[in-house]
Structures are given as structure tokens and as C-alpha cells.
Amino acid sequence: MDDPKLVYYGVASVVSLYALTKALSGPNLDFIPTLGSSNAILSFREVYRYIFGAKELCQEGYKKYPEGMFRVPNVDRWNVMATGRELMDEIASAPESELSFYESINEFLQTGYTMGWGIVKDTYHANVVRTSMTRNLGVLFPEVRDEIVVAFDELLPVQGKAWLTVPAFDTMMQIVCRTSNRLFVGLPLCRDPDFIKLNVDYAMDVIIAGQLINMLPSFLRPTIGPFLSPRKRILRRASKHLTPVVEERFRKEKELGDKYTDKPNDLITWLMDAAEGDERTVPALVQRVLFVNFAAIRTSTDTFTHVLYDIAAYPHHVEPLRAEIESVVQKEGWTRASLNKMYKVDSFLSESQRYWGIGTLSLGRKVVKKDGFRFANGVKLPYGTYLHSPMWSVHHDPEIYPDPEVFDGFRFSKLRESEDSGSAKFQVVTTSLDYLPFGHGRHACPGRFFAAVELKAMLAHVVMNYDVKFVDDGPRPANQYMASACLPDSSAKIMFRKRQE
């Protein structure tokens, strides 16, 4: 690219194509105020600001349009942001037939191509996670705890007083993947290196493939989409591990009928019990296990890496956390019920999610009602509009959270203790219009009960067994802001040593 003219023409074509796409596609939203220019070409500066971190742009709109709406430009479309409790409440409670969570997420991930059309058509897994998985968290807690202990021991073999340096994100990803799969597929598969690796790879590859497919014009997607998708490749790898397990369970079911009472208590069984029609086949069940892994692993790993950085960045929390955990465990041991009594542990996780969170937006929806979605205030958004709420701004609003720029790991436990009988209101799993890391309303994350158990047990394990610090006693590694994502630095290293008394 020595010729500057080529660069110029290249940039000019991309800008024109982008402006043309945005101007021609998408609904007319001229009546919603914009930040920057409302002209498709001139809004390019805001597109750039959006891509390199929606946080600041949305904060500007949140201040300028409280209890209202504004729109921010993404590369190929406008995103409408709704602020204020009333509008957010309407979004969270709107039916799927009017504001669709699934259409919004499926377009982002191109789910049909990246994870199969069965997942798009039938979302029964959400119910399985919400009901069977959550119901079993108490009885399966010893397994979750065992996997955490074994995984940390194997991945962090600290000795004496020596510090051990490890890549933070990759190490936590391994531990989260193993621990989650102890509940999903059980031993020994949850520890199989290839099974872990393929789930980790899939979690990363789906996002990339989804974005690439999104760049294609719709008419090319059916032809090119499958080639860009990692689905078949990963499904083949996963089938080697899972197909014999699922086949064996189908065989026993056929042979023993009602007498098949010693079914393993895991995700595979819960899915088999709930699946119907085409979804009750071996390949569909294998794909479904992969999908639940996708929903669980990246979200939980990013969240826990933030938590780990916070332990190192705000070490004055460690002693009070240790005192709380020690006192509860001495009386009751390690159980799900005892974890529920660790208010400070719960609070630290809540605060980390409030302060950083893995995204800066929440309540992503697409208007799918043919004649548009009308809010109670009379504003009507046309069919096809993409809608969000600026979560980061809500979480940093001083009217909602006093001193929002202070990281106070015990902010929520203090609120809980000040209410009657340890109110459920300030627990990490309780979603609200003021607390949105797991969404809110109809589609609030069904896996949050499991995620909370797993991440609190990991946090408690870390503070009870290790000292943690950044390499060279440096500062907290900077987050990576990309569009609406707020990701912890995934290349930073962190140091552990055996806890010194």
C-alpha cells in the first residue's frame, strides 16, 4: 500500500458502502435525537467512538437524555438507547412477539450458522437451565467444590513461599470450563483436555464467525455462512467425546424403560428429559451441550477475571473476606447453604459486576411487531429497530449508587445488613432496573444461580488459599473496550503464592 491514492480509494469505498448500507437498510429513526450527526456519512466519527468503546458515548447520551431515548451509530445500523426506569421496565417486560431478545442475539451471533437452526427454533435449554440445573445446585455443590479444589491445585501448583506467575484469563477459563462441565457432563469428561479445549475454542470462534457472517449481504449468507462457521468442525470434535455417552443413555433408556433409575444427575440427562421431536436425537443433544457451554463459559470467565483483578487491586478486602468465610465454614462446612451466608463474598461479586461488568449495555432487543412498538409515553419505534439500555451509566449513576466511582466490595453486604433479615434485594442473583449484569425481566439469565454458586465458591477458594498480586506490583491491567463489551485484559499475567499466615 505505497500509493496513497489506493489508501484513499479504499477508505472512501468503505465509508460510502457503510453509509449506503445504513441509509438504505433499517427503519427511519429521524425523530430520535443522535449524538453527533444524524447524517449517515457524517456520523462516522461516532461510529468510531462506538466501536472503540460504547461506554463514553452512551454516558454522554445518558446525561443529555435522562428518561428518554437517543441513538448511536453502529457500523451498519442505528442503535436506540432507552434511559430511565419507566422505559427500561417496558423493555424488560415486553413480550418476545413485540421486542425480541432472540432476534437481537441471533443476529449478533448468527446463531443459525454458528450453532445450528435447531437452537434458533427451540430454546428449551433456557428452561432446563432455569429449572433442573438450579434445583440441583444444592445436591451437586460438593462436586462443584471438588472440581474447583482439584483444578486450582493442578493449574496453580504453588509451593512454600514462592510466587507463581500464570496467564490470568487462560487459567481462569480452564478452571471455569472444568467446573461448569463437572455439572454439565460429569467426570471424567469434564477434565479431558481436548473436550475443554474445544469448548474454549468454540466460545471464541462463534463470536468471530458471527461478526464475519454479519458483514456479508443477506443473500450470500446461506452459501458462504457455513464455510465461515466453526460449527461442523467443533461438532465433529465434540461428537467423539459426547456421542458414545448420549448413545449409551438412549440404549439404557430403551432397555430399562421406567427401571432406568440410576441416570446420572447432569445436564445431559436434564436435556434428554426435556427435549422433544428432532431435538431428542444424539447430534442435536451434542449441539445443545455445546450451546450451554457457550452461554456459560466466556461470560463466567470474563466475570471471574475481573473479580481476580479486583482482589489484587483492592487487597484491603481480603482480610474481612477471610474472616467471614472462616467463621461460616467452621460452623457449617462447605455447602451451598453456607455459601448463601457469605454476604461479603456475594457483595464482592456484585460490586465487581457493577463497577466493570462484561458489557456496557443491557436489555438488547429488536422490534419485531410489524406495526412497531409503542411505549406508554407515545413514542413508537418502527419494526426492525435495535434497542438497548446503557447499563454502565445506570451502574455509575450517583443517584442510584452513592460514590459510584469508588470500588466498595462490601457496598451490597452493608445494604443487605441494614435491611430486615438480610433482604434478598441486594444479592448478586437478584436482577432489577438498577442492577443489570444478568439482564432483567423475561429473559434475565437463567444460568445466574449456577454462575453465582460457581463464582462465589471460586472467589472464596482463592482468598482462603492464596495471596494474589499483579506482576511487578503493577496496576490493574486496563480493560479492553470493544463496542459494547468491557473485557478484562486477556493477555495479562497474575501472581499467586500459598497463603502466608
Binding residues for heme: 445
CA distance 402 to 348: 16
How far is 365 from 91, CA to CA, in rounded Å?
8
Which range touches ligand HEM (CB under 6 A), out of 4-12, 27-35, 290-298, 328-336? 290-298
C-alpha cell at 80: 436506540
**Which CB atom, from 61 or from 437, has the smaller least distance to ligand HEM?**
437
Q: What share of the chain is helix, strand, coil (3-state, %, to 5)?
A: 60, 10, 30
Q: Is residue 457 part of the contact set for ligand HEM (CB under 6 A)?
A: no
Q: Which of residues 419-438 bind ligand HEM (CB under 6 A)?
A: 437-438
Binding to ligand HEM (CB under 6 A) within 72-111 occurs at 101
* Pairing state between β 386-389 and 78-82: parallel
> Considering beta carbons, is residue 44 or 270 the nearer one to ligand HEM?
270
The Cα–Cα gap between 132 and 267 comes to: 8
How many residues bind ligand HEM, per CB under 6 A?
26
Residue given cell 446463531 in the structure block: 111
Quote the cell numbers at residue 235: 461438532
- Please tell me whether residue 444 binds ligand HEM under the rule CB under 6 A: yes
271 binds ligand HEM (CB under 6 A): no
Name the grid cell of 12. Answer: 472512501
> If binding is defined by CB under 6 A, does position 363 make contact with ligand HEM?
yes
The label of the residue with cell 435447531 reads 118
Rounded to a whole number of angstroms, the minimum distance from the CB of residue 2 to ligand HEM is: 46
Q: Quote the CA–CA distance of 412 and 409 in Å, as a whole number.
A: 8
Distance CA 31, CA 220 (A): 32
Distances (CA, A) of 61 to 66, 199, 394: 8, 38, 12
Regarding 295 and contact with ligand HEM (CB under 6 A), the answer is yes
> 231-256 and 193-215 are packed helices; what angle lies between their axes, rounded to 10 degrees?
130
Residue 471 sits in the site that holds ligand HEM (CB under 6 A): no
* Least distance to ligand HEM, CB of residue 93, Å: 11
Q: How far is the CB of 130 from ligand HEM (least distance, A)?
A: 8
Among 79, 303, 413, 479, binds ligand HEM (CB under 6 A): 303
The distance of closest approach from Cβ of residue 8 to ligand HEM in the complex, given in angstroms and rounded to an integer, is 41
From 202, 450, 466, 496, residue interacting with ligand HEM (rule: CB under 6 A): 450
Q: Applying CB under 6 A, which residues contact ligand HEM?
A: 101, 123, 125-126, 129, 292, 295-296, 299-300, 303, 358, 363-364, 437-441, 443-447, 450-451
